[in-house]
Amino acid sequence: MISVAGVSKRFGSFTAISDISFEVATGEIVGLLGPNGAGKSTTMRILAGVFPPSSGSARVAGHDVVADSLRARAAVGYFPERVSAYQEMTVQSYLHYVGRMKGVRRAGLSVQADAAMRACGVDTVARRIIGSLSKGFRQRVGIAQALIGNPEVLILDEPTAGLDPEQVAEMRDLIRSLKQDRTVVLSTHILTEVEQTCDRVIILHRGRIVAVDTPANLNRRVQRAGRIYVEVTAPVVEAREWLARVGGVVSVSDAPGSRDGNAVLTILTERDRDVREDIARAIAERGWGLRELRSVAFSLEEIFLTLVQGDDDELERGTHGANLDHLSA
Amino acid sequence: MTSWSEGRTVRIWIICRRELQAAFGSVVAYVLFAVFLLLSGYFFYSDLIFMLLMASFTPVIGLWQWVFLDMRLVVLLILPLITMRLFAEEKKLGTIELLWTYPVRDVEIIAGKFLAAVAFFLLMLLPTAIPFALLYAYQPFDVAPLLVAYLGLVLLGVAFISCGLFISSMTENQVVSAMVTYGILVFFWFMTWNEEAANQATLRILLGLSLFDRFFNFTRGVIDTRDVVFFALFTAFFLFLTWQSLASRRWRGVP
């Protein structure tokens, strides 16, 4: 349904994305994951027809996004990162306008607009002025707008950004319900979101694809180590050496705020092994005061670093993960 | 699935209609309308009184000249305020990005917005014919010179609109959009103001480019093909620049 081959995009001397290739099958829901500036929006804008790639080619529903731009655009429903609609229009008249722009025949207009409003839960505000709606509702109107014209492909750029937790959960359900017979590409910089909604994840970092995998595999790959934060009233060097001896601990290092008499340490542990109790016991054994002990999740940035480094490591050893689809080194 | 190919012209019309709805959906359109009609009505009245006192002038032709030279000032004042939001507002809101993802060509977007502004202008011009009609009722006159003057005013306004449309596509700030348009139009208008400041060769070029001098012929009831061609080229030039400005997202990106 979507095929991207060797696509690069440069703005002047700045390279937004570089040699990106991936395929998305019909009915798949794929997440683009990456920190800000990774090239997610640029990739999606090329697919949605906002601008053409500098080099390489992309096809959507069998239509080239450059040579056959209008047909490709007609097959795509797009939700921009900066979602917006004409403030002075009502939800209903706006969706009718969008339908006309997408070439929906007048006869089918009301049916489509009503269906889109119901699907997105904005049928209750159909006659309200868009400018008077809350952020959550406007976000939903943006999704409804993408659904008009029954596109085969949905491109959603950060559909949950700026929503409160409850709205995020609702939006996630909405996206999952849209899947059915559509192909969806969505972007996010929140890892859990991808795990909960996507069949496959494409990880972008500095304009390049770092990994393409299922969320489960990705998680396994990333969780090569556990991490524990510990604060102990003890001499730093002594505490560091003592805790390094605990079984399952890989390394112990100083964390910010560490000083003699109050050691603040970050402990990396072996994967799938919870050594928190062992560490607590070891500290008690020495008679030190345990002030804080907790496991620390890896941030997205660290995961990228892990993935980028992981690629390098594995390349050196020549052992590519069998289930990993390496598209760039 | 819907067909994208149906109704190319329909899409221009849909954009045009949305623009007009947006304009008349806000109070701005009505204020501009009212100010335009009040000013042009007052000019007609005062010019008429002036003409009646100075009976040595040919009342009818001479009157058109005065009235239309005054009206072009009001048009200069009002049109940049109409064109300023055409693209700037969409850029500010971010709706322009969505427009680019619909199966519609840039040319169609430009055509739709341009036609909307032209329609607004013509609508605004329509009531200004009322005083002339009243005058005709009292003292019938040859309407041809009047129609020529109107043609000149329409050509002038359309040229202004294309310039304003281009400037609007360059910025997301409506005030900047209007001010820069004023700057360009006033320059094109008055660049021959001080004939002594330019040497003969330059002056000939400047006279050729001056909107003021081109328009003057029309107010005297004279249609010169070169003037019509000049206004058409002026308009086409700025529409082309607008098209280039929209296309610049390819190498500049989307703000």
User: Within B54-142, where are the H helices?
Assistant: 59-83, 85-93, 95-101, 106-125, 129-138
Contact A98 B102 (CB under 8 A): yes
pLDDT at B196: 65
Is A127's pLDDT higher than 60?
Answer: yes
Q: Is B55 exposed, middle or buried (0-12, 13-18, 19+ CB in 10 A)?
A: exposed
CA distance B80 to B163: 9
Nearest-CA distance B177 → chain A (Å): 19
Candidate from A71, A89, A101 with C-beta closest to B102:
A101
Please indicate, yes or no, if residue B111 is contained in any of the structural domains.
no
Please indicate, yes or no, if residue B255 is contained in any of the structural domains.
no
Give CA torsion, residues B183, B188, B193, B197, to 10 deg: 90
pLDDT at B58: 60
Nearest-CA distance B162 → chain A (Å): 23
Is A224's pLDDT higher than 70?
Answer: no
Q: Which chain A residues are within 8 Å of B99, Cβ to Cβ?
A: 101
What residues make up the domain containing B128?
A: 35-94+123-247
Instruction: For chain B, say whether A49 makes contact (Cβ under 8 Å).
Output: yes
Q: Which chain B residues are within 8 Å of A80, Cβ to Cβ?
A: 94, 97-98, 101
Contact A103 B249 (CB under 8 A): no
Contact A232, A281 (CB under 8 A): no
Please indicate, yes or no, if residue B185 is contained in any of the structural domains.
yes
- Specify the higher pLDDT residue, A160 or A53: A53
Structure tokens at B194: 């001080």
Residues A263-283 have pLDDT tens digits of: 899 888 887 778 888 889 999
Overall size of chain B counted in residues: 255
Q: What is the DSSP string of A242-296?
A: HHHTSTTEEEEEE-TT-BTTBEEEEEEEETT---HHHHHHHHHHTT-EEEEEEE-
Confidence of residue A222 (pLDDT cuts 50, 70, 90): low
Overall size of chain A counted in residues: 329
Q: Which chain A residues are within 8 Å of B250, Cβ to Cβ?
A: 51-52
Question: Helix, strand, or coil here: A61?
Answer: coil
pLDDT at B56: 59
Nearest-CA distance A113 → chain B (Å): 14
Is A299's pLDDT higher than 70?
Answer: no
Which residue of chain B is at minimal alpha-carbon distance from A85?
B95
Confidence of residue A16 (pLDDT cuts 50, 70, 90): very high
Please indicate, yes or no, if residue B193 is contained in any of the structural domains.
yes
Please indicate, yes or no, if residue B171 is contained in any of the structural domains.
yes
ipTM (interface pTM): 0.87
Structure tokens at A210: 């770092």
Please indicate, yes or no, if residue B20 is contained in any of the structural domains.
no
Q: Which chain A residues are within 8 Å of B103, Cβ to Cβ?
A: 70-71, 73-74, 101-103
Candidate from A16, A86, A108 with C-beta closest to B95:
A86
pLDDT at B8: 63
Please indicate, yes or no, if residue B9 is contained in any of the structural domains.
no
Q: How many domains does chain B have?
A: 1
Instruction: For chain B, say whether A16 makes contact (Cβ under 8 Å).
Output: yes
Instruction: For chain B, say whether A86 makes contact (Cβ under 8 Å).
Output: yes
Which residue of chain A is at minimal alpha-carbon distance from B247?
A51
Please indicate, yes or no, if residue B1 is contained in any of the structural domains.
no
- Which parts of chain B have pLDDT scores under 70? 1-8, 55-61, 192-198, 255
Lowest-confidence region among A120-129, A246-255, B185-194: B185-194
